């Protein structure tokens, strides 16, 4: 403890000592202009950095690590004095002790942070230089498995102590992740204390006990689990840590590798081992009671998309659940029968709750009313939510406590799943509305939110979408295609919502690469494909695909195809009547989409000059630009030039050439992602009491057959079809006892309560005009497309 007070004092000294000459040093000024020279991230390419830029605005290797800490970050491009004491201060409040290696490089070990996203830290050493650094912390579930210790046969760990699961357990790890010959293997547990939804609700991450000391760092550890001492067995969820045996037991903030977080079946007490089902059933009942006392969050979460295609297309609001991903072979441990699940990207505003939606191989939603694999909403969003740190917003951990452990109690360790589903019923899609989308691609061809298609070949920087009420701004830059041709193409888009980080996606000088900038600084996706940034998330699984997601549910997809960048903007319904700009005025009316910035509407869309002046009216201003100008080319051509180049006249009367490859691309886009928004009507049809049903699809055209149990007679319809208007054909089905009553009838009761018969016709957004034929294709055809398609 003394050490911490001491280092705290050093920091105060450092911060109060402004020893650099103002205007020439980057100390404490990374990302800012320093007067005579620059500490902005663009300074390296513009060659105007202050001499000490690299000393203060440092980079690390790796640049990301787990939220639990223990990652060893090496400070690049700068050397330390080997005898120095190094102290690292994370997030302005957590100090860890770093070290200097033989190559004079400084190292910092990350602490537990309860928070994902970019974390700043400052590294200071005896020679009084303090350097600012940012590293990303990542949810364990999103972390690449090479950064984790592995539970061998996770199923065995999961069920250890239940009937017929015993013996030894094994874990393995990458030996280079802990630089030590001997390691300690420790168990750490997580719990939350204080009353739920009050200020004293706290997360507690705790060292419990050591499984083995002084184990050789061989990359493998096997043991026969013993029930934990009574004071520890109340921890039912945690992780195992592997760290150097030099450290005292349970020492914080040391280099370590962690296993996946998991349910601690293997250390539960003898009551569990004696009769795990009874133990779990008790727990399930207790949870059921507790859950009844907690506030209901279900009304606050958004409805699921009706089909898998919609779920995968609605990238502004839903994202693949890494626990059940069709791209990764559909390993769906908690959702048997599903091939793909998505999660609502944003947690609900008040309760931080999450939504999950799962789909089967025919593309239909899997509901808890029909299957144990049904999608279930979450009291705590698995990915956590800003401002993180305290329940129920702690990434991963809160979700485990409120939604996963209870699933173990009720569904996996005992057979009482109906209790779980009572509190976590699947959401239907009755209230789901597909987003509206607009696209710009190629030569700039635009397809507005209301389906108007036009070309605009101005050169400059323009407003694509401006929704002032929601603070959303999306800007695009066009560059001439070649010197000869009188046409331009989109090469960069920049965007922000409210006070979010500014994200720019642009074509890189390297082929087949999009470059992403966050507040002028280049972002790397080599270690992580997902980034939690300030009020915005960015996902880039490959260098040609970037998706940006804002809290409002607005999504921007940028795709590079050959030399062309296609940008799709998806906006949820709440943006109706709010947007202006080149992508149109979103209100369901195509005629007013080409509204100039002065409010006038283009009268004759076939008149290219008129359309051109519409485009020109949306040139941005110098002070509203979100773009980064980090080359002399960009400075002269865009930064210091008029935003709309009035000297650049495109050739207005080039006829649209039907063998134009770009035109084909338009058709591709219209029959691809956008067209996957199809109408669907879904409402659950429960089986009759004392009966069963065959069929679990509830969208237009689907058929459900109803049966009665033996001893009961069916009254009403035995077959019902979901009709165009969203109603089920026929009449309600009732199973009445036969005259000779057979009391032994089995009750196959329905689980889900009444669901209102609300009919919502979801209208098609994109390509309404272009692609009427394809649109008519029915859900069945569509779901075939889904399973084979590798879109998104």
Ligand X SMILES: *[C@@H]1O[C@H](CO)[C@@H](O)[C@H](O)[C@H]1NC(C)=O
* Interface mask toward ligand X for 666-685; x: CB under 6 A: -------x------------
Report residue 788: phi and psi, to 5°: -90, -20
Contact status: 710 vs ligand X (CB under 6 A): no
Read off the tokens for 65: 């690590």
3-state secondary structure of 142: helix
**C-alpha to C-alpha distances, 524 to 418, 434, 750, nearest whole angstrom:** 45, 31, 50
Binding part of the chain for ligand X, among 18-26, 155-163, 663-671, 760-768 by CB under 6 A, reads: 155-163
Cβ-closest position to Ca ion: 450
Quick one: 398 or 414, whose CB is closer to ligand X? Answer: 414
**Using the 8-state DSSP alphabet, how is residue 388 labeled?**
-
Contact status: 542 vs ligand X (CB under 6 A): yes
Report residue 413: phi and psi, to 5°: -90, -15
Contact status: 790 vs ligand X (CB under 6 A): yes
Quick one: 27 or 450, whose CB is closer to Ca ion? Answer: 450
Quick one: 71 or 671, whose CB is closer to ligand X? Answer: 671
Quick one: 115 or 497, whose CB is closer to ligand X? Answer: 497
Closest among 728, 726, 723 to 706, alpha carbons compared: 728
Contact status: 333 vs ligand X (CB under 6 A): no
Residue 408 binding partner per list ligand X, Ca ion, none, with a CB distance cut-off of 5 to 8 Å that depends on partner kind = none
Instruction: Name the E strands within 45-109.
Output: 60-61, 64-66, 72-75, 86-90, 94-100, 106-109
How many Cβ atoms are within 10 Å of 443's Cβ, its own excluded? 24
Quick one: 168 or 202, whose CB is closer to ligand X? Answer: 168
Contact status: 232 vs ligand X (CB under 6 A): no
Closest among 269, 258, 344, 762 to 552, alpha carbons compared: 344
Interacting residues of 307 by C-beta distance below 8 A, sequence separation 6+: 359, 363, 364, 365, 678, 680, 699, 779, 782, 783, 786
* Interface mask toward ligand X for 8-47; x: CB under 6 A: ----------------------------------------
Closest among 216, 197, 246, 256 to 69, alpha carbons compared: 256
Among 202, 512, 694, 784, interactor with ligand X by CB under 6 A: 694
Quick one: 156 or 191, whose CB is closer to ligand X? Answer: 156
Interacting residues of 565 by C-beta distance below 8 A, sequence separation 6+: 441, 489, 490, 491, 493, 507, 514, 558, 559
Quick one: 72 or 593, whose CB is closer to Ca ion? Answer: 593
Read off the tokens for 445: 């061809």
Contact status: 281 vs ligand X (CB under 6 A): yes
Residue 156 binding partner per list Ca ion, ligand X, none, with a CB distance cut-off of 5 to 8 Å that depends on partner kind = ligand X
3-state secondary structure of 791: coil
Read off the tokens for 175: 């030996």
Burial class of residue 327, CB neighbours in 10 A (0-12, 13-18, 19+): exposed
**What is the C-alpha separation between 88 and 107, in angstroms, rounded?**
9
Among 16, 145, 164, 788, interactor with ligand X by CB under 6 A: 164
How many Cβ atoms are within 10 Å of 731's Cβ, its own excluded? 10
Residue 414 binding partner per list Ca ion, ligand X, none, with a CB distance cut-off of 5 to 8 Å that depends on partner kind = ligand X
Binding part of the chain for ligand X, among 26-34, 305-313, 603-611, 773-781 by CB under 6 A, reads: 603-611
Contact status: 482 vs ligand X (CB under 6 A): no
Among 44, 300, 660, 785, interactor with ligand X by CB under 6 A: 660
Give the number of residues written for the chain.
Answer: 792
* Interface mask toward ligand X for 76-95; x: CB under 6 A: -----x-x------------
Contact status: 526 vs ligand X (CB under 6 A): no
The residues of the shown chain that bind Ca ion, judged by CB under 5 A, are 450, 585, 587, 589, 592-593
Report yes or no: 41 and 520 within 8 Å, Cβ to Cβ: yes
Residue 163 binding partner per list ligand X, Ca ion, none, with a CB distance cut-off of 5 to 8 Å that depends on partner kind = ligand X
Residue 593 binding partner per list ligand X, Ca ion, none, with a CB distance cut-off of 5 to 8 Å that depends on partner kind = Ca ion
Q: What angle do CA 498, 502, 508 make, to 5 degrees?
A: 150
Binding part of the chain for ligand X, among 116-124, 309-317, 516-524, 541-549 by CB under 6 A, reads: 541-549
Report yes or no: 680 and 307 within 8 Å, Cβ to Cβ: yes
Report yes or no: 779 and 678 within 8 Å, Cβ to Cβ: yes
Binding residues vs ligand X (CB under 6 A): 81, 83, 153, 155-156, 163-165, 182, 214, 277, 281, 414-416, 541-542, 545, 559, 604, 606-607, 621, 623, 657, 659-660, 673, 694, 790-792
């Amino acid at each position: 403890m003394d050490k911490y007070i001491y280092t705290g004092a050093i920091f105060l000294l450092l911060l109060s000592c402004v020893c650099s000459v103002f205007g020439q040093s980057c100390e404490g000024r990374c990302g800012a202009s320093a007067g005579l020279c620059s500490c902005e991230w663009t300074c390296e390419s513009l060659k105007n950095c202050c001499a000490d830029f690299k000393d203060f605005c440092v980079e690390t290797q790796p640049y990301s690590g787990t939220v639990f800490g223990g990652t060893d970050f090496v400070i690049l491009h700068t050397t330390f004095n080997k005898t120095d004491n190094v102290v690292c201060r994370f997030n302005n409040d957590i100090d860890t002790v770093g070290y200097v290696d033989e190559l004079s490089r400084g190292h910092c070990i990350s602490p537990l942070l309860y928070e994902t996203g970019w974390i700043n830290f400052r590294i200071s050493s005896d020679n009084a230089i303090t350097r600012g650094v940012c590293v990303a912390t990542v949810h364990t579930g999103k972390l690449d498995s090479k950064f984790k210790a592995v539970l061998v046969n996770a199923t065995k760990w999961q069920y250890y102590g239940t009937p017929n699961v015993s013996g030894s357990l094994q874990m393995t790890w990458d030996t280079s992740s802990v630089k030590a010959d001997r390691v300690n293997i420790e168990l750490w547990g997580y719990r939350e204390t204080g009353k739920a939804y009050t200020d004293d609700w706290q997360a507690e991450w705790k060292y419990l006990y050591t499984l083995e000391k002084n184990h050789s760092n061989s990359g493998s550890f096997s043991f026969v689990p013993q029930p934990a001492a009574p004071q520890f067995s109340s921890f039912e969820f945690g992780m195992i840590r592997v760290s150097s045996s030099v450290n005292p037991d349970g020492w914080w903030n040391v280099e370590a590798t962690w296993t996946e977080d998991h349910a601690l079946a293997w250390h539960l007490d003898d009551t569990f081992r004696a009769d795990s089902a009874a133990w779990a059933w008790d727990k399930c009942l207790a949870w059921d009671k507790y859950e009844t006392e907690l506030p209901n969050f279900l009304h606050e979460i958004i409805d699921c998309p009706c089909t898998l295609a919609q779920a995968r297309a609605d990238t502004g609001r839903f994202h693949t659940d890494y626990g059940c991903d069709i791209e990764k072979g559909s390993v769906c441990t908690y959702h048997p029968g599903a091939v793909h699940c998505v999660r609502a990207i944003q947690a609900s505003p008040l309760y931080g709750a999450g939504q999950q939606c799962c789909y089967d191989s025919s593309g239909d939603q899997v509901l808890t009313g029909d299957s144990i694999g049904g999608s279930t909403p979450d009291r705590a969003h698995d990915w956590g939510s800003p401002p993180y740190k305290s329940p129920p917003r702690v990434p991963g951990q809160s979700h485990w406590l409120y939604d996963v452990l209870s699933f173990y109690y009720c569904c996996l360790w005992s057979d009482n799943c109906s209790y779980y589903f009572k509190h976590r019923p699947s959401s239907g899609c009755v209230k789901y509305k597909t987003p509206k989308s607009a696209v710009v691609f190629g030569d700039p061809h635009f397809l507005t939110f209301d389906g108007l298609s036009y070309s605009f070949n101005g050169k400059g920087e323009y407003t694509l979408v401006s929704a002032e009420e929601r603070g959303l701004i999306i800007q695009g830059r066009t560059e001439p295609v070649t010197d000869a041709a009188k046409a331009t193409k989109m090469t960069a888009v920049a965007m922000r919502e409210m006070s979010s980080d500014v994200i720019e996606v642009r074509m890189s000088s390297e082929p087949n690469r999009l470059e992403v900038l966050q507040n002028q600084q280049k972002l790397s996706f080599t270690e992580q494909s997902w980034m939690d940034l300030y009020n915005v998330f960015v996902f880039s699984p490959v260098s040609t695909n970037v998706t940006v997601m804002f809290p409002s549910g607005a999504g921007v997809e940028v795709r590079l195809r050959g030399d062309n960048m296609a940008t799709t903007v998806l906006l949820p319904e709440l943006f109706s009547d709010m947007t202006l700009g080149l992508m149109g005025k979103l209100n369901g009316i195509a005629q007013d989409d080409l509204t100039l910035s002065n409010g006038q509407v283009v009268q004759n869309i076939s008149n290219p000059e008129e359309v051109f002046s519409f485009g020109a009216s949306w040139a941005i201003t110098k002070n509203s630009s979100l773009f980064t100008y980090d080359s002399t080319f960009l400075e002269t051509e865009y930064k210091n030039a008029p935003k709309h180049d009035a000297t650049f006249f495109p050739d207005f009367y080039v006829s649209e050439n039907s063998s134009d490859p770009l035109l084909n691309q338009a058709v591709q886009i219209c029959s691809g992602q956008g067209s996957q928004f199809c109408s669907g009507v879904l409402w659950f049809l429960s089986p009759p009491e004392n009966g069963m049903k065959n069929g679990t699809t509830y969208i237009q055209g689907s058929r459900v057959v109803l049966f009665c149990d033996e001893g009961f007679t069916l009254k009403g319809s035995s077959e019902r079809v979901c009709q165009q208007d969203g109603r089920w054909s026929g009449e309600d089905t009732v199973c009445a006892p036969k005259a000779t009553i057979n009391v032994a009838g089995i009750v196959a009761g329905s689980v889900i309560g009444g669901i209102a018969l609300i009919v919502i016709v979801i209208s098609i957004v994109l390509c309404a005009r272009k692609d009427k034929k394809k649109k008519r294709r029915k859900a069945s055809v569509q779901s075939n497309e889904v399973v084979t398609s590798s879109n998104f």
